[in-house]
């Protein structure tokens, strides 16, 4: 399953094959993966350049979330409010603006992380 919503991709890793027919497909960005297990985000802080995609992969065995700081309103970086996603699936965001993006797991708000984006 692949859902485009702005720069958000929801990917179910169990799908065998996804094909997109586009004669002028844009190059894929560099990608960094952050895993989310029962203990939290690993690594909890990543530093990337603008244009890099960050993939949060849920390997916890349960449903989880990635949400913007600050808990509980999640309003600082609304583009990081991905909602609940199942174990075995991922959410992806391409960071186009430099800055520091704090996030947390809304279901376990003590699990936090940070993406530092540089030019």
Closest CA to 108 of 33, 40, 34: 40
Q: What does the pLDDT look like over 14-40, one tens digit per residue? A: 433 333 344 566 666 899 999 999 999
Q: What does the pLDDT look like over 90-103, one tens digit per residue? A: 999 999 999 999 99
Q: In this structure, what token pair is assigned to residue 95? A: 């960071």
Maximum C-alpha span of the chain: 45
CA distances, 64 to each of 22, 40, 61, 84, 100 (Å) = 33, 10, 9, 5, 22
The domain segmentation of the chain, as residue ranges, is: 2-12+28-118
**58, 39 contact by CB (below 8 A):** no
pTM above the 0.85 mark?
A: no
Q: 85: Cβ–Cβ under 8 A, 6 or more apart, which residues?
A: 10, 58, 63, 64, 65, 66, 91
CATH no., domain 2-12+28-118: 2.60.40.420
**3-state secondary structure at position 79:** helix
CA distances, 67 to each of 21, 38, 80, 112 (Å) = 32, 16, 5, 9
Q: What does the pLDDT look like over 45-92, one tens digit per residue? A: 999 999 999 999 999 999 999 999 999 999 999 999 999 999 999 999
């Amino acid at each position: 399953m692949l859902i485009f919503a702005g720069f958000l991709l929801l990917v179910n890793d169990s799908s065998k094959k996804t094909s997109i027919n586009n004669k002028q497909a844009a190059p894929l960005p560099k990608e960094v993966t952050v895993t989310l297990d029962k203990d939290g985000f690993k690594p909890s802080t990543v530093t990337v350049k603008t244009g890099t995609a960050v993939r949060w992969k849920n390997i916890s065995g349960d449903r989880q979330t990635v949400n913007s700081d600050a808990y509980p309103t999640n309003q600082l970086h609304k583009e990081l409010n991905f909602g609940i996603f199942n174990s075995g699936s991922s959410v992806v965001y391409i960071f186009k603006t430099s800055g520091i993006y704090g996030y947390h797991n809304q279901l376990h708000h003590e699990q936090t992380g940070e993406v530092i984006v540089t030019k």
